[in-house]
A and B are shown apart, each in its own frame.
Chain A
Amino acid sequence: MSVDLPLPVLTPNDFASDQDVRWCPGCGDYSILAQMKKVMPTLGLPKEKIVFISGIGCSSRFPYYMNTYGMHSIHGRAPAVATGLKTCRPDLQVWVITGDGDGLSIGGNHLMHAIRRNMDLNIVLFNNRIYGLTKGQYSPTSPAGKKTKSTPMGSIDNPLHPLSIAIGAEATFVARSIDTNIKHLAETLKRAADHRGTAFVEVYQNCNVFNDGAWNYAKDRNTKADTTLELEHGKPLIFGKDRDKGIRLNGLEPEVVQLGSGIAEDDLLFHDERSHEPSLAYLLSRMRYEDGYPEPIGVFRAVEKPKYDDMINDQIEEATKAHGIGDLEKLFNAGETWEVE
């Protein structure tokens, strides 16, 4: 009989590596790092079971600052590195840290495939709508018309929306949070960690050097109640400082309505994060501030599906059941052989 020893009680500080953190002062990355360190001790896992894998970008320096196992890999490829690791070692909790350029531009392919396989990874995409590390070029999430060093006349690319991409790839867990909304961020990270399968979290992150204020509308104390909407499972979509506005479905389109004047809570759209049909989650991901909608934060989707890392290892078990544990002698001598005297 094995005795379950109580885990040593860890603190956020136990997860801090001895490396100096080298982001620009005021960068939103600090806050995400702080929340991650806060969440870690709540996961019931010893440090050595946690691995951070990142690509390249400011945000991707993240693993160096965590006193866990980690790898700072190459631009865009973190989901693939993490896939190899998690496939071999389902017992580890693997986090992927990526940026909007890293994850959606150069690494778009890997991101999509990690998600559609439902590999048990926690992917956190720091979205600052800019390339930070390469000093301020527009990114795949920059709004059209964005003027940057590489787009002096304004960007003519249409932006990608990370959560729409993730839901399009049928992610089993999709959430959004904001760097400065620390309580919400910590809760969101915790829920991502608890999810079995790919958890995809977009975090609105401020790059105060190259794209300061990109998310001000969602952070500003005076506006955020009207520009964001906190999702709660089973609850109607209500927002606004006085919680007097809601989202109603008009045909296939969401519509902002004023509660009261003939419209009751029951007329609103109710959030169902467990719906197996991803259309509702997709619809939520399409609600944009510039189109006059509040932007949802919280968990868009959380459903259970078989995980790749389980299935690939189950196949090994199944094959072993069917053929016995691989025996080299048997392998070499099976089939047509002949003797030479």
Chain B
Amino acid sequence: MSTAIEKQVENLDEATVRFCGDSGDGMQLAGTQFTNTSALAGNDVATFPDFPAEIRAPRGTKAGVSGFQIHFSSQDIYTPGDTVDALVAMNPAALITNLPDLRQGGILIVNTDNFDKKGLEQAGYESNPLEGGDLEEKFKVHQMDMTKLTRQAVDGLGLSVKEADRCKNFFAMGLVFWLYDRSLEPTLRFIDAKFGKKPEIAQANVAALKAGYHYGDTVEGWNTQYLVAKAKLPAGKYRNMMGNQALAWGLVAAAKLSHKRLFLGAYPITPASDILHELAKHKHFDVLTFQAEDEIAAVTSTIGAAFAGEMAVTASSGPGIALKGEGLGLAVITELPMICINVQRGGPSTGLPTKTEQSDLLQVMFGRNGECPMPVIAASSPSDCFDAIQEAWRIAVEYMTPVFFLTDGYIANGSEPWRIPEVSDLPRVRVKHPEPMPDSNDEGAPKFMPYARDEKLARPWAVPGTPTLEHRIGGLEKQDLTGNVSYDPANHEHMIKTRAAKVAGIANGIPEQAVDGPDSGDLLVISWGGPYGACATAVHRAQAMGHKVSHAHLRYLNPFPKNLGELMGRFKKVLVPEINCGQLRLLLRSEYLVDAIGFNKVQGKPFAVGEIVEKIEEVLAS
């Protein structure tokens, strides 16, 4: 490209960019496009979309600010980044809420359009922050009226003012694309696919995108472009994956490879709805999606589907999981294989519906009446959802039990590169259904025993429609072997202990807990779920500083891996960072009598790497 001004190129290992603006400004789209482009350019990426619970809060208010952060790197990365290198703020509310995360010396791109009296007041500014030079002292500031520039760019295409203004996120994208020397191609393809049927809108978006790009290229003050080289990821073919999508694809794969139809019974709830949306697109994989009238119907229809002999799944978030509690008890006592996904969000009650939290661990462990054990598995990252959910299905089938699967809003909406697996390498879950019994009118002939057990204590999964295996299951206590209703006190205790032993026995069929770093030392950091990336990065950093710190990330939360207690014993201290008030810590303490230390933050936000490093140092020093 010809450039009027001398431009420099600076090489970086990594960078973090955040787009923020009003929730109607298209910031999620801008962020997603930038992510995909960076991933296609070969960077490792990690993202953090952050949006308000209100679909359209009053324009220009802090309540309506929507943000999307992308961390991209030439190294392996695990988090969307602690601080931001480049911030795009589309209005004063976005600026005031996001500026604290911009690092000193970082790039600040501001759309000046809404910095009038009303806009400033709505954001809570007493004076215009763009005046007086304060910002310039700390950051590299670029101000421009993007709204006006966008209108100019689309002039002549016959758009209304409103339509024209809607293109300004593409202008912002173009500018950032220039700044990090990104190709426009993927976004041009996206525009074509998405707006192809509305040619004037497509043209306008292209014009705005290019205008933004050229603005960077030609306007004075933009003299440095930043290059982040390709990451040295393991060889293979990659695509970008969001957590909920990976989860849905993992379900599709597990069903297909175990020769089952997939049934999802679900009721919409943020942040789990996308699982339903994604699966509804794949009906040709023999996927039945049932949008139930509520979560109770969602879980009970899932029990019906499990009884039918299919791969049965329900997905929700905390409040919905609360409603499912009674149904899950039925799934436990009927010993049917199924998966219950909980995409956790801020609680209690409706809490912070669009923000992340890890506070449903005790709910899924204990939130049912009676002695009602369920295995619990948690995913650690968006792409891990794909593998972990297949593992959940294996456990459900092998042990004939409902399984809880935990992710959270951060994993669900975050994205990262996913190495596309060979289908032949994916696990095959072998499902056995009992065959009809030999035909006999003989009184003494063996009868089908729906509650007989194999070596894993699993009962047979006899499917309605199979002759000679007719049987009844249900919520009243079952007599051992026959499955008949039984009020016998000794039998009740026996069945309770058997169901518990079955779940505990899963520990024999899962890998021992791995540890990242030496298997003994001063401190073991134990994490589960979303904080995986922040903890892994923090521990690596602490190790580089010479500390004797290791990291164990738990996928299996019930039962725990067999060696976990012994592993903890080899460290002087145990630290458990969690986005809750200490739920895993409580379990570890009660199970192993270990004096685990908690690091807890419940602000609807994931951990920053820096704060975990700090905590590690503090614990080591004490």
- The 20 sampled A-B contact pairs (Cβ below 8 Å) are A72-B474, A73-B300, A77-B327, A81-B303, A81-B304, A83-B301, A84-B263, A84-B300, A87-B290, A88-B304, A109-B293, A110-B296, A323-B284, A326-B256, A326-B285, A332-B423, A338-B42, A338-B238, A338-B239, A340-B42
Given known A-B contacts A71-B334, A84-B301, A84-B304, A340 and B236 have beta carbons under 8 A apart: yes
Q: How far is the CA of A189 from the CA of B265 in the complex (A)?
A: 30
Q: How far is the CA of A56 from the CA of B474 in the complex (A)?
A: 10
Asked whether any CB of chain B lies closer than 8 Å to the CB of A253, the reply is no
Inter-chain contact B305/A326, CB cutoff 8 Å: no
Which residues of A pack against B, CB within 8 Å?
Answer: 17, 19, 46-49, 51-53, 56, 63-64, 66-74, 77, 80-89, 91-92, 109-110, 112-113, 312-313, 315-316, 318-320, 322-326, 328-329, 331-333, 335-341
Which residues of B pack against A, CB within 8 Å?
Answer: 36, 39-40, 42, 186, 230-231, 233-240, 249, 252-253, 256-257, 261, 263, 265, 282-288, 290, 292-294, 296-297, 300-310, 312, 326-327, 329-330, 334, 420-421, 423, 426, 464-476, 484-485
Q: How far is the CA of A82 from the CA of B464 in the complex (A)?
A: 12
Interface centre among A63, A85, A113 (most CB of B within 10 A): A85
Inter-chain contact B470/A68, CB cutoff 8 Å: yes
| Cβ 8 A contact of B472, one of A70, A89, A112, A322 | A70
Inter-chain contact B301/A331, CB cutoff 8 Å: no
| Cβ 8 A contact of A80, one of B282, B300, B473 | B300
- 8 A-B pairs with least C-beta separation: A84-B304, A72-B474, A326-B285, A84-B301, A85-B304, A319-B283, A80-B297, A88-B308
Inter-chain contact A85/B472, CB cutoff 8 Å: no
Inter-chain contact B485/A331, CB cutoff 8 Å: no
Interface centre among A70, A112, A313, A340 (most CB of B within 10 A): A340
| Cβ 8 A contact of A84, one of B39, B238, B302, B469 | B302
Q: How far is the CA of A110 from the CA of B263 in the complex (A)?
A: 18
| Cβ 8 A contact of B307, one of A71, A110, A328, A333 | A71
| Cβ 8 A contact of B297, one of A47, A110, A323, A326 | A110
Given known A-B contacts A83-B304, A322-B284, A340 and B290 have beta carbons under 8 A apart: no
Inter-chain contact A83/B297, CB cutoff 8 Å: yes
Q: Can you name the residue of chain A whose Cβ is closest to the Cβ of B485?
A: A64
Inter-chain contact B284/A325, CB cutoff 8 Å: yes
Given known A-B contacts A72-B472, A88-B263, A336 and B304 have beta carbons under 8 A apart: no
Inter-chain contact A332/B304, CB cutoff 8 Å: no
Known contacts A71-B474, A110-B297, then 13 further A-B pairs from the complex at CB < 8 Å, ordered by chain A residue? A70-B472, A70-B474, A74-B329, A74-B330, A81-B304, A87-B288, A315-B283, A318-B283, A319-B283, A335-B239, A338-B42, A338-B237, A340-B234
Q: Can you name the residue of chain A whose Cβ is closest to the Cβ of B329?
A: A74
Inter-chain contact B301/A87, CB cutoff 8 Å: yes
Q: How far is the CA of A341 from the CA of B470 in the complex (A)?
A: 56
| Cβ 8 A contact of A67, one of B287, B305, B326, B470 | B470
Inter-chain contact A48/B326, CB cutoff 8 Å: no
Q: Can you name the residue of chain B whose Cβ is closest to the Cβ of A333?
A: B420
For A87, the chain B residues whose CB sits under 8 A away are 263, 288, 290, 301, 304-305
Interface centre among A19, A52, A81 (most CB of B within 10 A): A81
For A71, the chain B residues whose CB sits under 8 A away are 303-304, 307, 334, 472-474
Given known A-B contacts A74-B326, A315-B283, A69 and B238 have beta carbons under 8 A apart: no
For A335, the chain B residues whose CB sits under 8 A away are 239
Inter-chain contact A337/B238, CB cutoff 8 Å: yes
For A67, the chain B residues whose CB sits under 8 A away are 470
Inter-chain contact B467/A84, CB cutoff 8 Å: no
Inter-chain contact A336/B476, CB cutoff 8 Å: no
Q: Can you name the residue of chain B whose Cβ is closest to the Cβ of A63?
A: B472
Q: Can you name the residue of chain B whose Cβ is closest to the Cβ of A339?
A: B237
Inter-chain contact B472/A17, CB cutoff 8 Å: yes
For A337, the chain B residues whose CB sits under 8 A away are 237-239, 420
For B310, the chain A residues whose CB sits under 8 A away are 88
Q: Can you name the residue of chain A whose Cβ is closest to the Cβ of B336?
A: A71
Q: Can you name the residue of chain B whose Cβ is closest to the Cβ of A17?
A: B472
Inter-chain contact A19/B485, CB cutoff 8 Å: yes
Inter-chain contact B468/A113, CB cutoff 8 Å: no
Chain A nearest CB, measured from B432 CB (Å): 18
Inter-chain contact A85/B308, CB cutoff 8 Å: yes
Inter-chain contact A84/B308, CB cutoff 8 Å: yes
Given known A-B contacts A84-B300, A340-B236, A64 and B290 have beta carbons under 8 A apart: no
Inter-chain contact A48/B468, CB cutoff 8 Å: yes
Q: How far is the CA of A112 from the CA of B237 in the complex (A)?
A: 49
Q: How far is the CA of A63 from the CA of B471 in the complex (A)?
A: 9
Q: How far is the CA of A326 from the CA of B283 in the complex (A)?
A: 8
For B426, the chain A residues whose CB sits under 8 A away are 328
Inter-chain contact A340/B304, CB cutoff 8 Å: no
| Cβ 8 A contact of A312, one of B233, B257, B290, B312 | B290
Q: Can you name the residue of chain A whose Cβ is closest to the Cβ of B482?
A: A18
Given known A-B contacts A80-B296, A84-B308, A326-B252, A48 and B284 have beta carbons under 8 A apart: no
Q: How far is the CA of A335 from the CA of B286 in the complex (A)?
A: 21
For B300, the chain A residues whose CB sits under 8 A away are 73-74, 77, 80-81, 84, 110
Given known A-B contacts A48-B467, A73-B303, A87-B263, A340 and B472 have beta carbons under 8 A apart: no
Chain A nearest CB, measured from B416 CB (Å): 14
Chain B nearest CB, measured from A134 CB (Å): 15
Q: Can you name the residue of chain B whose Cβ is closest to the Cβ of A325?
A: B284
For A74, the chain B residues whose CB sits under 8 A away are 300, 326-327, 329-330, 475
Inter-chain contact A84/B312, CB cutoff 8 Å: yes
Q: Can you name the residue of chain A whose Cβ is closest to the Cβ of B193?
A: A335
Q: How far is the CA of A64 from the CA of B111 in the complex (A)?
A: 70
Q: How far is the CA of A338 from the CA of B45 in the complex (A)?
A: 13
For A83, the chain B residues whose CB sits under 8 A away are 290, 292, 297, 301, 304
